[in-house]
Amino acid sequence: MVGEETSDEERAELRETLGLMDPIHVQFSRFIVNASKGEFGISYQLRRPVSELIVERLPATIELVVISALIALITGTLLGVYTGINRKGFLSDFVLAVSLLGVSLPTFVIGILFIYLFAVILGILPSFGRGEVVDLGFWTTGFLTVSGLKAIILPSVTLSLFQMTYIIRLVRAEMMEILQTDYIKFARARGISENSIKYKHALKNGLIPVITIAGINIGTLIAFSIITETVFQWPGMGFLFIQAVQFVDIPIMSAYLVFIAFVFVMINFIVDILYYLIDPRIRVKGDTASG
């Protein structure tokens, strides 16, 4: 916050106003009280209130995470169902082999490879930033401009790959297990059509654990987005956080971490409710079997 020519008096005064001279427990309790009110102080680096910065950066991260979660869930489930049903065959083997790559390659390597391929060699997609954004007052979105839509493709695919491969493998394992169960065999014995067996009877049961895992993983997506945002210079919270780490900008870091913790708790709460709605065995726990 201070430059070369700041005098010692000014430095001392600034320390005083920031409360850095107080004992640690006073500073900490002040932090707790303020944090519970949603006030995280002023960024040392940018000299603006942290809450303002977070709100400014939030839309970029949320858009990125939502898009990559959708990509991961939809493609992951589709490919998982496909490989679970067609266990042998070229396409299944291919998908599984690629999914292994997705699990083992770190996000930043994939990101850099994508930039090299699509931005440098082919030159069809931008290599960094959000493109043009439209300001809706409370929210800035990149969905309304062509450059914004183009810009989100690479980072969101990069971010989704790890989760997608995870979901592919989970759905595949679930489908394979469920297709062996007695109730699927009984449905076959009743002559229910194969399509109904696969997509109504088996898939519905197979998605129950996927919802739990996927929900928790959306939290992980936000956490992973730090790396992706840095690689693609995406102006989101993760990028903000990395910059804050370099400048030891504690108010931003603490605000970011509290926010992430809050998101994790909320997502788990929502997942539990979803679980309750989807699985009748949990829903009617109070009812005892009768008759």
Partner 1 sequence: MTFLKINNLSVDYQMRKETVNAAKNVNIEVNKGEILGLVGESGSGKSTVGNAIINLIDEPGKVSSGSVILGDLNIHENSESIVKYRGNKIGLIFQDPQTSLNPILTVGEQLIETIQTHLKLSKEEAKNKSLNLLKEVGIKDAETRFDNYPHQFSGGMRQRVVISLALCCEPELLIADEPTTALDVSIQSQILELIKKLTKERNLAVILITHDMGVIAETADRVAVMKSGNLVEIGETKEILTKPQENYTKSLVSSVPPTNKKISRFVIVEKENSDKKENNIKILNRWTKKVIIDQDLVQIKNLSKSFDDNFFTESSKNSVMAVNDVSFDIKEGESFGLVGESGSGKSTIAKMIVNLFKPSSGNIFFDNVCITKIKQRSELMKFRKQIQMIFQDPYSSLNGRLKVKDIIAEPITLHNPSISNIDLNNYIYDLLESVELTQKSADRYPHEFSGGQRQRISIARALATQPRLLVCDEPTSALDVSIQAQILNLLKDLQEQLNLTILFISHDLPVVRQMCDRIGVLKDGKLCEVSNTEDLFLKPDHEYTKELLRLMPKIESIYN
- Binding mask 154-193 toward partner 1 (x if CB under 8 A, else -) reads --------------------------xxxx-xxxxxxxxx
Task: Calculate the dihedral angle through the C-alpha atoms of 211, 217, 221, 223, rounding to the nearest 10 degrees.
Answer: 150
Size of the site for partner 1 (CB under 8 A): 28
Instruction: Round to whole Å and give the CA distance between 269 and 263.
Output: 10
Task: Calculate the dihedral angle through the C-alpha atoms of 190, 195, 200, 201, rounding to the nearest 10 degrees.
Answer: 40
213 or 278: CB nearest partner 1? 278
* Least distance in angstroms from the C-beta of 260 to partner 1: 33
179 or 231: CB nearest partner 1? 179
25 or 281: CB nearest partner 1? 281
User: Which one, of 59, 56, 77, lies nearest residue 67 by Cα?
Assistant: 59
145 or 212: CB nearest partner 1? 212
* Least distance in angstroms from the C-beta of 76 to partner 1: 21
Task: Calculate the dihedral angle through the C-alpha atoms of 257, 259, 260, 262, rounding to the nearest 10 degrees.
Answer: 120
The piece of 117-125, 165-173, 247-255, 280-288 that touches partner 1 (CB under 8 A) is: 280-288
Question: Which residue in the set 208, 245, 250, 260 belongs to the binding site for partner 1 (CB under 8 A)?
Answer: 208
* Least distance in angstroms from the C-beta of 197 to partner 1: 10
Burial code (b: 16+ CB inside 10 Å, e: under 16) for 250-285 equals bbbbbbbeebbeebbeebeeebeeebeeeeeeeeee
16 or 194: CB nearest partner 1? 194
Identity of the amino acid at 176: M
